[in-house]
Amino acid sequence: MDNTSSSFCKAAVFFLALGGSLLALPTQAESPLTEKRMQTIETLGHLTGVGLFCGHHDAAVPLKEVVIEVADKHKMDEATRAKLGFAYHSTRDKAFNDGKKGEYDCPKLQQFQAEALLAKLNVSQAF
């Protein structure tokens, strides 16, 4: 083999190795935002909206911190954080607006606190 053939072989081996490592990169299927996980975040958003509408601010506002903690714990990139935030905020806003339309009765504070605690537990189990 001459020097050119040897260089070509080395380059081919390099690209094959690179291609193999590209196949090992995470795929969409390995996203931290599975359907179950997103549902738990949406539940937090929904409860926050209900809590804010019904005047349970002190119990509702900390639910957003759970979402932030999840993103930090899993070192989520900006795009993933944006998806998580959108799921939380859109369901929060919808629940608040549904309350304005009279689509649900406000839970008593103790019931709301119990539902919020259960939602936080579900998030910690899902993530």
Which pLDDT score is estimated for 32?
Answer: 81
What pTM, to 2 d.p., does this model score? 0.74
Which pLDDT score is estimated for 27?
Answer: 41
DSSP E strands: which ranges in 45-116? none
Which pLDDT score is estimated for 24?
Answer: 37
Which pLDDT score is estimated for 13?
Answer: 39
Q: What is the mean pLDDT of the chain?
A: 83
Q: How far apart are CA 100 and CA 54, in angstroms?
A: 10
Burial of 70 (0-12, 13-18, 19+ CB in 10 A): buried
Contact 67, 84 (CB under 8 A): yes
The rounded percent of the chain whose pLDDT value lies above 70 is 76
Average pLDDT over residues 10-15: 40
| pLDDT over threshold 50, residue 22 | no
Q: How far apart are CA 44 and CA 108, in angstroms?
A: 17
Which pLDDT score is estimated for 7?
Answer: 44
Q: How far apart are CA 30 and CA 15, in angstroms?
A: 25
Phi and psi at residue 93, in whole multiples of 5°? -65, -40
Tens digits of residue pLDDT in 59-110: 999 999 999 999 999 999 999 999 999 999 999 999 999 999 999 999 999 9
| pLDDT over threshold 60, residue 16 | no
How remote is the C-alpha of 90 from its chain's centroid? 13
Burial of 94 (0-12, 13-18, 19+ CB in 10 A): middle
Structure tokens at 104: 């649900």
